[in-house]
Amino acid sequence: MTRNPFPGVWQPGDNPGRRQFAVLAGNAGWAGVLEAGGWLPEVTVAYETWGEPDPARSNGVLVLHALTGDSHAAGPAGPGHLAPGWWDGLIGPGAPIDTDRYFVVCPNVLGGCQGTTGPASPGSDGVPYGSRFPMVTIRDQVAVEAALADQLGIGRWSAVIGGSMGGMRVLEWCVGHPKRVGRAIVLAVGASATADQIALCSLQIRALRSDPAFAGGDYYDAAARPVDGLAIARGMGQVSYRTAHEFQNRFGRSAQEEEDPLKGGRFAVESYLQHQGDKLTERFDPNAYIVLSEAMNHHDVGRGRGGVERALAGVRAPVTVAGVASDRLYPLEQQQELARLIPGARPLTVIDSESGHDGFLSEIDQVGTIVASALSE
């Protein structure tokens, strides 16, 4: 099959950059059966590492990305990587996650589009999965990460760290694999998806599927991709990631440059949201956006475990919980619940930011202090 390059998806034959790859199958700790009943007999995981494992492989730190992140948590943009690391400055020699001390691993999530098996990956027939890709959950993603840890010879992580969707997976590690987590750092997330969060994700999914180019999810060989739907979905998400106060201070009712909104032109905030959406279409796959959004909607550490309170009561690792003061997507009450229900949780730490949910990414100094303090315990 001739490879059809298109924006947003890393494919075999592209420059790998710093990526490494692990293939998980039945003989590599991966059973293939998914929580919702689907089946993926083989999974490729793209991951990046920093630092070196100690002889006992006891110094591993697992860093988990959010919805549109990838394995490139640190390092410059360059071949294979369109942008600098999403937590650049947090990982490296002498950094809060000190690679002179720790062996740091960041995998691209199951269902993603930057090297790990996802909807754009070829199925057994060589054709991209597209609409055939099965539903995956946060638990499935963590099962893949656990199989990767097995392949890397890491029986127990010194720490597992992540925010937003990455924080969902940190919680799932703590609940589902309590003996494999030495300590945990959870940022800007809750124990389960709320009705408000599900509503927002579902509207983004509907916007994407309504794009005529979506073609039921089988657009990989078509001339057009559903970029308009993806851009609208991203714009909707971007509103929830930031704050009304920031938008008012930054844009107010200003027009975009010389445009006149009374004559069909745009307000500056409209231009901003369109720009954010257009940027994402260059580095992300629409199907992956849907698959991962649905996984977030199904996030619930208490499912099948007697509820959230009972599930969190089984966490054994010391846990640092942090939230962003201005976060309207994952408000502080959700982190307060985590800090209250997890037996080993430290008092809640609040990140002071006007950036809303995105503060867990943008407030590097504050996040770095939180992480360094937790790792020093």
Active site residues: 164, 327, 357
Q: Which two tokens stand for residue 64?
A: 């988990």
CA 136 from chain centre, in angstroms, equals 14
Task: Give the strand pairing for 319-324 and 184-187.
Answer: parallel
Cα distances from 21 to residues 46, 71, 236, in angstroms, run 5, 11, 33
307 neighbors 132 (Cβ within 8 angstroms) = no
Q: Which two tokens stand for residue 59?
A: 């110094």
Nearest Cα to Cα of residue 139 among 186, 183, 174, 180: 174
b/e burial code for range 73-112 (CB count within 10 A of at least 16 → b): bbbeeeeebbeebbbbebbbeebbbbbeebbbbbbbbbbb
- For 377, residues 6+ apart whose C-beta sits below 8 A from its C-beta are 183, 318
DSSP string covering 113-157, please?
SSSSS-TTSB-TTSSB-GGGPPP--HHHHHHHHHHHHHHHT-SSB
